[in-house]
Structure 1
Amino acid sequence: MGNEAAMRTASGPMLVVAADQYEAHPIVRDATAPLMLPKAVRRALSFRLVRMLVRSATDRQIPGIWGWMLCRKRYADDAAERALANGAEAVVVLGAGLDTLAHRVPALAKTRVYEVDLPGNIAAKRTALVRAFGEVPRHVVLAPVDFEADSLGRELIEADWSPHTKTLFVWEGVTQYLPRAAVEQTLGFLRCASPGSLVALTYVRGGFMSGREFYGAESVYRKFVAGQRLWKTGFEPDELAGLLAEHGWRVVEDVGAAELAERYVEPSGRALPLTGMERWALAEKS
């Protein structure tokens, strides 16, 4: 992925979450998200018309992606709380971008959170954290890694992570950008995870990647899949479950738009459509 595209991928979800903080009933409560953005962007989002225009433009590209991004973050929060309740002692965020999971879930303030991403994104994250907190919080470890070229295991171990530590791995909004070989290489590394560890990962549906179903986003398919080939890999639920099983992971649940709308959107009383293009899978190391 090019640096410019990677930066957009890193900042886009945080813009959505930051905008949602102005709602009466946010899907994700996140005081840190606005602080990850430049001051000018934060000021612009304080205007209701700007928020409406940004949301409208976003949902024109992929209908329901605004609501899905919010529910995606909320699911990551729930996965973190579930992992901590099951004895996890560390969290590794693969492709962290400007994500604020380490600060959204209060219990993570006492947990080591390793944030892994491309060197350019890690540099941007460091700048954002220093702007927000005056320093990189002590429980956050920033680890620059290129998933296609570097050894994820070596970089994490050098950052003081141990495979003997029960860990939650969060792999959100990344797998579609990687060749399948790179996805499998990462899963190969995750074989070393301690039993009882969890991995929560998002994936784009294989039907979209093959052009069988567009979910209202045919222009995105033409641009990112067929044209620029920025999105490279997709799965169907059974296919992903089989691949995870090959690497020692058992799927605990696999959820999409219908399930997350019921969990998060309906209780808020808001009308937020969710795209069915992407899903979450949560798996446990056997």
Structure 2
Amino acid sequence: MTGRSAAAQTAVGPMVVAAIEHNEPPHRRLVDDDLAASFLPGHLRALAALSRTAMVRRALVAASERGGPGLWSSIACRKRLIDERLSDPLTEIDAVVVLGAGLDTRGCRIARHSDLPVFEVDLPVNVRRKAEVLRRALGGTPASVHLVPVDFEHDDLMDALRSAGYDSTARTFFIAEGLLQYLTPDAVAATLSQLSSAAAGSRLVFTYIRQDFLDGTDTYGADAVYRRFRGRRPVWRSGLVPEQLGDWLADLGWSLDEQAGPSYYRDLYIRPTGRPLAASPIEWTALAHR
């Protein structure tokens, strides 16, 4: 399996987390996404339905923790953080662009109460699958949601967006959740540099894997995850250094606003639920502006 085809298979996992989390009682939920389950393939919709039972949810989270300590919480919390920044009343934007959208539901959730244009960018195979999912789950793609096929390693991202109707003068909220680690370092830099041509006032939120984990310098207790994604056929190809992120982004035309790691998620999201969970230190979320 090539890196690109392997990356295409990762569209489902985060939505499984979101779907199962939605079955937690509201005060114990890490993220709130009522569309997640309906976007999953049939066997995983059935699994999500089974997780309405607390014992099943606990077993699924425990299995995830054994394979990748803290990744369940990190995935759920990063989704919540992005949702909160996107819905913040102070966030004045004219468009949303979701890079590596996979089965993400944000565009469709936005479309329920707004005609804000949302552009969902992903590999062609994922775009085709997403269109099929939207036909099954919602009867079609909402008018304000635009599916844009792009190969981040080879295609001109901004040209593809403009061809899909994107207005390059729009203040844009760009989201790259769970994407950058699957790209080569050159493609990561090229992608973020292209995005910096967006209008002043645009914002960028992205997740990344720590470079020291990618190098194997420190696996942070996630040896199984390292073997899976950095083994004989590495799927994760790019990492970043938290302490160097501000300077790196500045070179690409962005100003760093904040970073969120495991302690942020613990204090703001996990601890209030009373659940005995920790977030993984290998993945971080960064927010920047133009």
Same fold flag (TM > 0.5) = yes
Give 3-state SS (helix, strand or coil) of 2:201's partner.
coil
Provide the rounded CA distance (Å) in 2 between the counterparts of 1:184 and 1:3.
Answer: 18
> Alignment partner for residue 33 of structure 1, among 32, 36, 41?
36
State the match for 1:55 in structure 2.
61
> Alignment partner for residue 79 of structure 2, among 45, 64, 73?
73
Q: In 2, are the aligned partners of 1:63 and 1:217 still within 8 Å (CA)? A: yes
State the match for 1:168 in structure 2.
173
Q: In 2, are the aligned partners of 1:80 and 1:105 still within 8 Å (CA)? A: no
In structure 1, give the amino acid aligned to 2:79. Answer: K
Give 3-state SS (helix, strand or coil) of 1:203's partner.
strand
Residue 240 in 1 paired to residue 241 in 2? no
State the match for 1:18 in structure 2.
19
Q: Residue 213 of structure 1: CA displacement?
A: 1.1
Give 3-state SS (helix, strand or coil) of 1:116's partner.
strand
Residue 110 in 1 paired to residue 111 in 2? no
Provide the rounded CA distance (Å) in 2 between the counterparts of 1:38 and 1:50.
Answer: 19
Q: Residue 241 of structure 1: CA displacement?
A: 1.7
Q: Residue 226 of structure 1: CA displacement?
A: 4.0
Indicate the RMSD between aligned Cα atoms, in angstroms: 1.8
Q: In 2, are the aligned partners of 1:178 and 1:231 still within 8 Å (CA)? A: yes
Query: 1:86-129, CA deviations, whole angstroms, 9 ceiling, x for partnerless residues?
Result: 32010000000001122445786331110000001111111111
Q: In 1, are the aligned partners of 2:3 and 2:182 still within 8 Å (CA)? A: no
Provide the rounded CA distance (Å) in 1 between the counterparts of 2:241 and 2:113.
Answer: 32
In structure 2, give the amino acid aligned to 1:10. Answer: A
Q: Residue 263 of structure 1: CA displacement?
A: 1.4
Provide the rounded CA distance (Å) in 1 between the counterparts of 2:269 and 2:163.
Answer: 38
Query: 1:18-71, CA deviations, whole angstroms, 9 ceiling, x for partnerless residues?
Result: 011111132211110011012332222222455444323322221011111110
State the match for 2:137 in structure 1.
132
Give 3-state SS (helix, strand or coil) of 1:271's partner.
coil
**Cα distance change, pair 87–125 in 1 and its aligned pair in 2 (3 A):** same
In structure 1, give the amino acid aligned to 2:40. Answer: L
**Cα distance change, pair 209–40 in 1 and its aligned pair in 2 (3 A):** closer
Q: In 1, are the aligned partners of 2:181 and 2:209 still within 8 Å (CA)? A: yes
Provide the rounded CA distance (Å) in 1 between the counterparts of 2:73 and 2:157.
Answer: 31
Q: In 2, are the aligned partners of 1:250 and 1:284 still within 8 Å (CA)? A: yes
How many residues get paired? 284
Q: Residue 201 of structure 1: CA displacement?
A: 0.6
Which 4+ residue blocks in structure 1 deviate beyond 6 angstroms?
none
> Alignment partner for residue 205 of structure 2, among 200, 219, 226?
200
Provide the rounded CA distance (Å) in 2 between the counterparts of 1:133 and 1:226.
Answer: 39
Q: In 2, are the aligned partners of 1:164 and 1:193 still within 8 Å (CA)? A: yes
State the match for 1:178 in structure 2.
183
Provide the rounded CA distance (Å) in 2 between the counterparts of 1:212 and 1:105.
Answer: 41
Q: Residue 220 of structure 1: CA displacement?
A: 2.2
Residue 221 in 1 paired to residue 221 in 2? no
Give 3-state SS (helix, strand or coil) of 2:188's partner.
helix
Q: In 2, are the aligned partners of 1:202 and 1:279 still within 8 Å (CA)? A: yes
Instruction: Tell me whether 259-268 or 135-144 shows the greater mean CA deviation.
Output: 259-268
Instruction: Tell me whether 214-223 or 142-151 shows the greater mean CA deviation.
Output: 214-223
Provide the rounded CA distance (Å) in 2 between the counterparts of 1:129 and 1:11.
Answer: 14
5+ unaligned residues in a row in structure 2: which ranges? none
Provide the rounded CA distance (Å) in 2 between the counterparts of 1:175 and 1:143.
Answer: 17
In structure 2, give the amino acid aligned to 1:35. Answer: S
Aligned residues with identical type, % of pairs: 39
- TM-score calculated relative to the size of structure 1: 0.93
Provide the rounded CA distance (Å) in 2 between the counterparts of 1:58 and 1:108.
Answer: 34
Q: In 2, are the aligned partners of 1:81 and 1:105 still within 8 Å (CA)? A: no
Q: In 2, are the aligned partners of 1:77 and 1:104 still within 8 Å (CA)? A: no
Provide the rounded CA distance (Å) in 2 between the counterparts of 1:108 and 1:80.
Answer: 14
Residue 256 in 1 paired to residue 266 in 2? no
> Alignment partner for residue 98 of structure 1, among 90, 100, 103?
103
Q: In 2, are the aligned partners of 1:102 and 1:108 still within 8 Å (CA)? A: no
State the match for 2:45 in structure 1.
42
Provide the rounded CA distance (Å) in 2 between the counterparts of 1:231 and 1:40.
Answer: 27
Q: Residue 79 of structure 1: CA displacement?
A: 2.0
